[in-house]
Amino acid sequence: MRGHRPGERVKQLPVAAIPVGGVGTWSVADAERWRSARAPVIFAPAAGSWGAAVAVVVSYVLTSAFSSSSAAWHGGADAGTDWLRYPGAVLLAALPLWYRYVPIPAGVAGAVVAVDAGFSLASADSGTERAGYLFVLTLCAWALTGSCLRLRARRRQRALFLAAAGRRRFPLPARAPESDGYRGHALFYAGAVFCLIAAGLLIEGLVRDLSGDAYDAVGQQTVALVLLLLGSTLYGRGVTTYLAARRLHEEEGHPALRVGIRITPDGRHWIHPDARTPAGQPLISYAPGERDTCRPAQLLGSSSSYGLGDGHHSIDPSTEPFEAVLYGPVHEGAEIVVAYATLAYHARQDTGQMSLGVTAAALFPHRRHGLGPWQPVDGTAHERARREKVREDAARSDRIRDELARSRAQRASRAKQAGAGTAGGSTAAGGGGCGG
């Protein structure tokens, strides 16, 4: 928007930004019940995946380094490559990433690996190896339990949000980004490419191993393992985020609530129960990309037509939340749409243009936000300070421009004087020569 400063978030939504019929608020009590429905901390996606990664490494050390076979799924000297243990090894290695990003496949993988580990435990040769397989069984039980609890938490949180929103349903705002047209596509295709490369490596190793003398395909297996871990995670994440976006945009009516949004320095947007109650805690976050936001989606009029006492003033979204209308059930992995008001001030003026911004985003299961307590600022004092800063910035710009103009004028004057002096000296020298 030419001649305007970048849009700033508005504390409270004007009436024109709220859907016809009104949208309810998310009470702190209802929001706390929603937050309490999460899976226990021990099964949290981020912390749990890191713990699972450590457990996978330990289990590999215990079950492979002390096994009668060599450490990398090898059947021993002159025995070729061990292919029977390879699928279980891949599923075990994939548990941490799958648990964090695609919990349903993680639960299935945990069950499959548990069956394989049970058979291996029955034929283990040493106490250390048996301890390793018991460790694998414990890890699989944790992954399966955590996956089931996270899926149960999604259903409970969805039901709690729908109960708080009531029976009314609303269409998405006009010009809401059609995220189902791009959400997850890049992840999907990148994951498919990695998996295809891994399949090619495994086919090559298997053909060489079966076509002649014993062939050591551990190198192909190792590279394929890394590619399969990345590829399957990207592919699964891409599919799930795309399906969530398509589900949102295919429905005609959506539950909606007025919430608060606070932005952290890393760009994450944390959803609060509302923008007025400091007691409300951050609930869940999203991180919108450049394609996820349409602004301005709707013009709401000049800022001069809104009173500061009504909360229609700009704020710093890192220090306190701003009000927004949220469309779609809120739970881990869901796709939502958020509508909020922005204010783009005219250059060197006290007024600006208020408009509606609309963002579509996928919700992340993050729990650590690093946000401290907040208190609402006085709108009148904030606007007075903002206008004073605008005047100071304008005066500073004028001084800099005047100084640059004087500097250019002085340089031009010195250059002109130097040119005149050079011309005079050349004329005098030429005259003496002619007289001689």
Per the domain annotation, does 16 fall within a domain?
yes
pLDDT of residue 184: 92
pLDDT of residue 386: 63
Per the domain annotation, does 1 fall within a domain?
no
- Count of structural domains within the chain: 3
Written as one string, the DSSP assignment of 208-276 is: HHHHSS----HHHHHHHHHHHHHHHHHHHHHHHHHHHHHHHHH-S-B-EEEEEEEE-TTS-EEEES-SS
pLDDT of residue 163: 95
Which of 201, 226, 251 marks a domain boundary?
251
Query: Rounded to an integer, what distance in angstroms lies between the CA atom of residue 433 and that of residue 436?
Result: 5
Whether 279 and 371 map to the same domain: the answer is: yes
Whether 322 and 340 map to the same domain: the answer is: yes
Whether 41 and 159 map to the same domain: the answer is: yes
Whether 303 and 206 map to the same domain: the answer is: no
pLDDT of residue 77: 44
Q: Which one-letter amino acid corresponds to residue 299?
A: L
Which of 214, 230, 251 marks a domain boundary?
251
Per the domain annotation, does 127 fall within a domain?
yes
pLDDT of residue 199: 96
Question: Mean pLDDT in each 10-residue stretch from start to end of the chain (436 residues)?
Answer: 57 86 90 94 91 90 59 46 85 95 94 89 80 90 95 96 94 89 94 97 88 79 94 96 95 94 94 91 93 78 56 84 95 95 71 84 90 78 64 71 79 74 52 40
Whether 139 and 93 map to the same domain: the answer is: yes
Helix (H) or strand (E) segment spanning residue 412: helix 379-435
Per the domain annotation, does 391 fall within a domain?
no
Per the domain annotation, does 385 fall within a domain?
no
Biggest CA pair distance of the chain? 120
Global pTM reads: 0.80
Structure tokens at 308: 């500061």
Which of 143, 167, 191 marks a domain boundary?
167
Whether 153 and 261 map to the same domain: the answer is: no
pLDDT of residue 1: 37
Whether 356 and 326 map to the same domain: the answer is: yes
pLDDT of residue 62: 82
Whether 183 and 137 map to the same domain: the answer is: no
Per the domain annotation, does 28 fall within a domain?
no
Whether 123 and 234 map to the same domain: the answer is: no
Per the domain annotation, does 129 fall within a domain?
yes
Characterize the bridge pairing of strands 335-345 and 293-302.
Answer: unpaired
pLDDT of residue 383: 66
Whether 213 and 299 map to the same domain: the answer is: no
Per the domain annotation, does 260 fall within a domain?
yes
Q: Taking a C-beta distance cutoff of 8 angstroms, is the pair 142, 257 a contact?
A: no
Whether 356 and 318 map to the same domain: the answer is: yes
Question: Residue 62 belongs to what domain range?
Answer: 37-167
Q: Taking a C-beta distance cutoff of 8 angstroms, is the pair 123, 301 a contact?
A: no
Whether 241 and 133 map to the same domain: the answer is: no
